[in-house]
């Protein structure tokens, strides 16, 4: 059972470049989310989805786009990368997103924007 799989593990971009961070889960979870983790700031929610075709903004959505065409996949797109988006990105999922559910995290993508 793979759980939550994120690719790539590391990425270096130049300012203005675009890229997509991939996230896939094989647990049939309806709820998926993206967080960024920065020193001293903890994990901050970027976007989340409660099912295929449904997405919503989190705490820090600017500069990021998401879509959810299937239950399994929840890609995060950076349209025009900026140095402020240098961070570690985590994808997380749970069965339905209810309050008492455990979030399963991927192993993260370390992104540097030069």
**Which residue ranges make up the site for another protein (CB under 8 A)?**
4, 31, 33, 35, 40-45, 48, 50, 56, 58-59, 90, 92, 97, 99-100, 102-103, 105-108
Rank residues 44 and 72 by Cβ distance to another protein and give the closer one. Answer: 44
Residue 2 or 99: the one with the smaller Cβ distance to another protein is 99
Residue with smaller CB distance to another protein, 26 or 56? 56
39 — phi, psi (to 5°)?
A: -55, 130
Q: Shortest approach of another protein to residue 54 CB, angstroms?
A: 10
Q: Which two tokens stand for residue 79?
A: 């349209």
Beta-sheet pairing, 109-113 with 10-13: parallel
Minimum distance from residue 69 beta carbon to another protein (Å): 19
Q: Which residue has the tokens 């991927």?
A: 106
CB of 15 to another protein, least distance (A): 26
Burial category of 105 from C-beta neighbours within 10 Å (exposed 0-12, middle 13-18, buried 19 and up): middle
Q: To the nearest whole angstrom, how small is the minimum distance from the Cβ of residue 45 to another protein? A: 6
- Are 4 and 93 spatial neighbours (Cβ–Cβ below 8 Å)? yes
């Amino acid at each position: 059972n793979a759980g939550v799989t994120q690719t790539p593990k590391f990425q270096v971009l130049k300012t203005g470049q675009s890229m997509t961070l991939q996230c896939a889960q094989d647990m049939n979870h309806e709820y998926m989310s993206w967080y960024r983790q920065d020193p001293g700031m903890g994990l901050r929610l970027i976007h989340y989805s409660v099912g295929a075709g449904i997405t919503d903004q989190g705490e820090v959505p600017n500069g990021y786009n998401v879509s959810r065409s299937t239950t399994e996949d929840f890609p995060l797109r950076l349209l025009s990368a900026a140095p402020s988006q240098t961070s570690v990105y985590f994808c997380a999922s749970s069965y339905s997103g209810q309050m008492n559910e455990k979030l399963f995290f991927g192993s993260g993508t370390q992104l540097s924007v030069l």
